[in-house]
Structure 1
Amino acid sequence: MTSFSTISELVSMAEENCSSISEIVLSCEAQKMQNSRKEIIEAMNQRLTVMKKSIEKGRKNYSYSVSKMVGMNAAKFDNFMNKNSILGKIVEKAICYALSVSEVNACMGLVVACPTAGSCGILPGAVLSVSEEMNVPDEKIVLSLFTAAGIGMVIGKNATLSGAVGGCQAECGSASAMAAAAVLELLGGTPSQIGHAVALALKNYLGLVCDPVAGLVEVPCVKRNAFAAVHALVAAELALAGIESVIPPDEVILASYEIGRLMPKSLKETSEAGLATTSTGRKVESMINNL
């Protein structure tokens, strides 16, 4: 059975077969699951539908999460970006969509964990903002999601996707790398360029701590999704321009694992340091505990 364990293997397989990374991942998944190509694509299409619905729900959300820390910012930005924004339409939408999905998650709505619930807005924010503005058909978007999935599989195998193990670099960093890869495929990037996009995105999130206020996936998580979606777009555009990462993607992934291992427990989703233990963070935690 065809398989891959590293980004370099994935890129090489695509190049040797004159194929896209998405086709390699799709083929491997079909073999592993013993399902037809059509069935695998339909399953991913269902996830795309969930992503789209969570964006629309979040943009129209005028309520708060149970903690009251999160809510209505996606709707606020949706209204703002059509009037006063200084950014281009793709970036504006990436921010809005990432906020939308992440707020839906905080309000206990249905999202696609890609790769985690805490980073669920990054991939749809980046991919759907680009696909909408460039009129990319759903069939091509679905394929790009297989590229993202392949990158996530490699990171999960060789490092971690868990904030409790590797800090937020493992969640938002990995999601940004996955999103950069997917966007680059949408834009016609080569397998090699996709590898560099992954490295560029992930290495600039190395060391990012996971310090959620009151132990909830809300602050700073939701707004961090918006930043990471834009970060993915920057990585994709740099790679598309031919800019390469000096450190190969697989070495960046291994570095992220090492950094996560060296990171103190207090900065890995325990809420024992960082923003969670600021004066305001403690006050919010106390307020929530008394609800």
Structure 2
Amino acid sequence: MTFTNGQELITLCKEKNLKIYEVMIQKEMELTGLSEAEIKNKLKISLDIMKQAVERGLTEDIKSVSGLIGGDAKKITERNDKTRSVCGSLMSKAISRSMAVLEVNAAMGRIVAAPTAGSSGIVPGTLLTIAEEFSLDDERLVEGLLTASGVGFIISRNATVAGAEGGCQAETGSAAAMAAAAIVEMMGGTPEAALHGAAACLKNVLGLVCDPIAGLVEAPCEKRNAIGAANALISAEMALAGVESIIPFDEVVDAMYRVGRTLPFELRESAIGGLAGTPTGQRIKKEILGE
């Protein structure tokens, strides 16, 4: 089950009549020597950690170590519980859950980096919401995580998921792409549709900079996870409807990487440019670091 890019993955899926998650489980079995059951059990551990992070972020009074973020996920949930959401209940749940995970991460809690700590809310925020809304069991969620891992593998191999190398497009963009592909397959879509969804996610945030205030994975990271969750859901919906990416997934990944490499150093997690470089961003940095 060897593949290095999206086109090779799709060819493999067609030749073997498999979904992306089925290719990934066989790939893991070949690489690790573990059985399918053993691999899925390991993924269930990660899934449980994701669930715990969401639950903690939505129910506990969490504050980040710096005090920059905390409690915003609960605010979104409380509004959705009390009144009609502007963006709909499903979207509201997804964004609040994605923010909850970021708050847990910033409070030094346990999360799953999917693919990074700074983008860790998008996959659980969206997949857990879809599972709840459509009554999907943990087995389907594990399959979704496998599909997401396939997209993450391709992006990591051919581009980057690091904000310091490719900007926030490489972090929250990649996480959204992983989530979108997973949602498409969880909802019965084809491998081709899954990659169209992933491509849309990356295109939607192409060029997004990484500018953490005071160099902390807190702000604007939390809100970008919320946007990433929305991006994943919108892109998955388009793909499931048959909307295709004009630019193939592999070319989008390459474009994202090239754009990221051309971003100035100040806009790649340096905490110098963008929002971090604003007067308020600099003031907050001085207060936190005691400068």
TM-score normalised by L of structure 1: 0.98
1:247 aligns to what?
A: 247
Provide, for residues 122-161 of structure 1, a one-character-per-residue CA deviation record: whole Å limited to 9, x for no partner: 0111111111010001101101100000100000000001
Aligned equivalents of 1:59 and 1:187: distance in 2?
Answer: 26
Aligned equivalents of 1:151 and 1:275: distance in 2?
Answer: 29
2:62 aligns to what?
A: 63
How many pairs does the alignment contain? 290
Of 163-172 and 88-97, more deviation after overlay is shown by 88-97
Query: Which aligned pairs between 1:36-75 and structure 2 lie closer than 5 A?
Result: 36-75=35-74
Runs of 4+ in 1 over 4 A off after TM superposition: none
1:232 aligns to what?
A: 232
* Pair 1:206 & 2:206 matched: yes
Q: Quick one: which amino acid aligns to residue 242 of structure 2?
A: G
Shift of 1:12: 1.6
Aligned equivalents of 1:30 and 1:165: distance in 2?
Answer: 31
Aligned equivalents of 1:210 and 1:63: distance in 2?
Answer: 24
Specify the SS of the correspondent of 1:114.
coil
Shift of 1:77: 1.3
Q: For structure 1, list consecutive stretches of 5 or more residues without a partner in the other structure.
A: none
Provide, for residues 38-62 of structure 1, a one-character-per-residue CA deviation record: whole Å limited to 9, x for no partner: 1111111111100000000000121
Q: For structure 2, list consecutive stretches of 5 or more residues without a partner in the other structure.
A: none
Query: Which aligned pairs between 1:112-261 and structure 2 lie closer than 5 A?
Result: 112-261=112-261
Shift of 1:164: 0.5
Specify the SS of the correspondent of 1:171.
helix
Shift of 1:17: 1.4
Shift of 1:87: 2.4
Aligned equivalents of 1:273 and 1:225: distance in 2?
Answer: 20
TM-score normalised by L of structure 2: 0.98
Specify the SS of the correspondent of 2:110.
coil
Shift of 1:18: 1.4
* Pair 1:33 & 2:29 matched: no
Shift of 1:107: 0.6
Alignment RMSD, CA only? 1.0
Of 61-70 and 122-131, more deviation after overlay is shown by 61-70
Aligned equivalents of 1:146 and 1:272: distance in 2?
Answer: 36
